[in-house]
Structure 1
Amino acid sequence: MRWFAFILLLAAAGCSDRTAAPIVPEALNFGLNKTVFIGTTRDRNEAGEFGIERSTDLQLLKATVSIPPNRDLGSVSDGFDSPNPKRDFAIAELTQFETTNAFANSLRSEIDNRAVNNREVTVFVHGFNNSFADSAFRMAQLAHDLELPGAHVSYAWPSRGNPLGYEYDRDSALFARDGLAELLESVRAAGRPNLIVVAHSMGSALVMETFRQLEIAQPGWVGENVRGVILMSPDINIDVFRNQFSRIKNVPDPFVVVVSRKDAVLRVSSRLRGQKTQLGNISNAEEVADLPITILDVSEFSDLRSGNHFVAAGSPALIQLLRRSSELDREFLRGRNGSVVLLPWQRRIVTQANGDASVVVSGGDR
């Protein structure tokens, strides 16, 4: 019955058209405006919007995203084809660059306007069931709520934006590898800023496949060009992840994997594959304990809106902790093999199986 209810939920959600991305200029007068650079391998549809079809050409854009006032921390409200900027996220402006150089110059200008110690670029790669607008909205929400420094870039790969489009999205994630590699190269062309790659769910699989591709073509590229990696709720088989990871010659540090044993979406994904878990809902960190990564366990936080599948972006309590905690900087997350960080409140020192001391914070949501 639970499976039947889940299918009904997917079918109901699938009745909504989530692909609309109207430009709403009046949204500039409401809320907070956030600049998000975008690379996309979506093709334009008959309405002139970036829809679900795949394009071999990477298109580079800059959007002004309006974040509505008086919203709940961690929330993203989408009005689909009729957004109300007083209540919903909206794209207020969208500019397309004609050349890669124009994109790099604009991004460099955005970076140069920051303080010298604040010149990072975060590239966000969305997951399954996202529209073009979703990817921009989520990047803006993460940047604002988590107070991410520097400039912000979203990679909008051609997801169907429909809960019933899982297989289409898996194919699209494979299709989108070249585009992501090209986008990362374009970002590095903007004065070689510090590059942080953040991915969610199926987007994590896309990132790891792209890293593997880059490393095969140019051994050492990832370590030379990417300063840090955060994979949130990665929808990746553990064996596949280990194979992808083995190709990375010099691993970025920190390399953080955010997991939740309560992730309902990954529980379904695992069952569809006949597996117990995916990487993002791993229950035994010993399976990756030999890798130079840090596991950030957020199981004790609750984000019912996402089925605990995007806790790092949706849980107000966790957002507040990540925002204000000086301990969760790169030195804190910089990993020893097999280190596990449990959040939040009481800290204790433990010894990992490999003998390294590591900070583990345990407790529950307040």
Structure 2
Amino acid sequence: MTIRRRQQSGRYMAVALITALALALGACASRPGSSVLTPVTAVEGAKHVTIFVAGTRATDPSAPTFLTDRITATTTYVRYVVSIPPTHRPTEIEWPTDVPDPTRHFAIVSSERLDERRFFVEVGATAARGEGLGRDVAIFVHGFNNNFPESLFRTAQLTADVHVARSAVLFSWPSKAAVTGYLADKDAVTFSRDALARVVERVAADRHVRGMKLYAHSMGAWLTMESVRQIRIAKDERTLGKLIDLTLAAPDIDAEVFLQQLRIVGRLRSPVTVLVSKEDQALSISRFIAGGQFRAGAANIDDPQVLVEARNSNLRVIDITNLATQAGAGHDGFAAFASIYGRLPQSSDGRVSSDVGPGVYELDVANKFETLDARLVQRVADPTTIQR
């Protein structure tokens, strides 16, 4: 009887966990499929953004530029040109329900499979056509529960709204895009570490590329930190020297693992920016799955020890709870943060200014999201409360 009760309790817990995941991660009944990537004719007034895609997703045999949720040991390379509609609103993705209407929706104008050599030549050539900040390459790494159209269009949206680099690369790993696929996704990012490290190294090797900016979300942050750690272990100073910005949004990383990764990576050219939120339900569920282990993306900036670790580890920890709440974005609050990223103090080389150095900050939102006015307010803990 006791065993049966425990089995029933386990089943109830599993059902409750899946339900909670669905609510926390905003799962919906209908998600974009391959039809939204059907090429359309360009329209006047739309903005075109070129996204270079590299990753460990296998292609669909019937559609060679559509990447699936299956793993491939051979890195896939594709170039997409994404059309942003004239009516686009910052932070939004205007999704089609089927074949897109480019006057109203994000849409694909063209796509092409590339071999490895041509891919990196084109990434470097695109960077070379820029001036100043434009000679940088931004590399985006998506998170848990993302299918390919979602990660592609989110990268296009961020590229269009933030203007951080002339050349944009999406590293897309084979997420199962399911709330029940957490452990499978964890295996997929583990599998993808070498491939991401190679992409970063190849981009850095191009003489036309002035610098690289790495942006990673959720479980993609763990993948990114592992790849950068691998590059440090290989003593590849050329690559690390070109890494001018590393931003981790809602990193789904065990806090102690994160600190150990940082110890190996060491100091980079700029503090690592970590976007955290007290209201991130997805990370709460992740913590539950991990047996209660604390997640780096849920760091509490009111804890004096967080300030100590931020300063010791060269971290710029920014609490975006207020912004994520107003934007209604939850775990995806980083997308809203991107819309005001350019308003932060900038240095001459396109990094966040050294005035915003290692430490803990809170994004102070002064009014409604439609007319967002946000500024960083640094938290300075009472030195007497900090144990060193």
The TM-score, its normalising length taken from structure 2, stands at: 0.80
Unaligned runs of 5+ in 1: 356-366
Q: Could you tell me which amino acid in structure 1 is paired with residue 136 of structure 2?
A: E
CA contact (8 A) 1:40 1:155 kept: yes
Unaligned runs of 5+ in 2: 1-14, 365-373
In the alignment, structure 1 residue 42 sits paired with structure 2 residue 64: no
CA distance in 1, matches of 2:182, 2:214: 23
- In proportion to residue count, which structure has more helix? 2
Structure 1 match to 2:360: 340
In 2 relative to 1, CA 324–330 (structure 1 residues): closer, same or farther, beyond 3 Å?
closer
Structure 1 match to 2:40: 26
CA contact (8 A) 2:324 2:332 kept: no
Matches within 5 A, 1:153-302: 153-191=169-207, 192-218=209-235, 220=237, 223-275=240-292, 277-283=294-300, 284=303, 286-287=305-306, 288-289=309-310, 290-302=312-324
Which one of 80, 84, 89 corresponds to residue 67 of structure 1?
Answer: 84
Q: CA deviation at 1:139?
A: 1.4
SS at match of 1:261: coil
> What percentage of residue pairs aligned between the two structures are identical?
26
Q: Could you tell me which amino acid in structure 2 is paired with residue 154 of structure 1?
A: L
CA contact (8 A) 1:136 1:154 kept: yes
Structure 2 match to 1:101: 117
CA contact (8 A) 1:104 1:187 kept: yes
In the alignment, structure 1 residue 131 sits paired with structure 2 residue 147: yes
Which digits, 9 at most, give the CA deviation of each residue in 1:309-350, with x for residues without a partner? 12131x3xx5553333446952246533xx112113577676
Q: CA deviation at 1:162?
A: 2.1
CA distance in 2, matches of 1:10, 1:301: 17
SS at match of 1:79: coil
CA contact (8 A) 2:49 2:156 kept: yes
In the alignment, structure 1 residue 330 sits paired with structure 2 residue 345: no
CA contact (8 A) 1:231 1:257 kept: yes
SS at match of 2:330: coil
Query: Which stretch shifts more, 340-349 or 203-212?
Result: 340-349
Which digits, 9 at most, give the CA deviation of each residue in 1:228-266, with x for residues without a partner? 100011011101101111111442413110111111211
Q: Could you tell me which amino acid in structure 1 is paired with residue 361 of structure 2?
A: V
Which digits, 9 at most, give the CA deviation of each residue in 1:16-56, with x for residues without a partner? 46452654332522621101111121111243221110011
SS at match of 1:171: helix
Q: Could you tell me which amino acid in structure 1 is paired with residue 341 of structure 2?
A: L
Which one of 313, 318, 321 corresponds to residue 340 of structure 2?
Answer: 321
The TM-score, its normalising length taken from structure 1, stands at: 0.84
In 2 relative to 1, CA 252–21 (structure 1 residues): closer, same or farther, beyond 3 Å?
farther
- The count of corresponding residues between Structure 1 and Structure 2 is 349
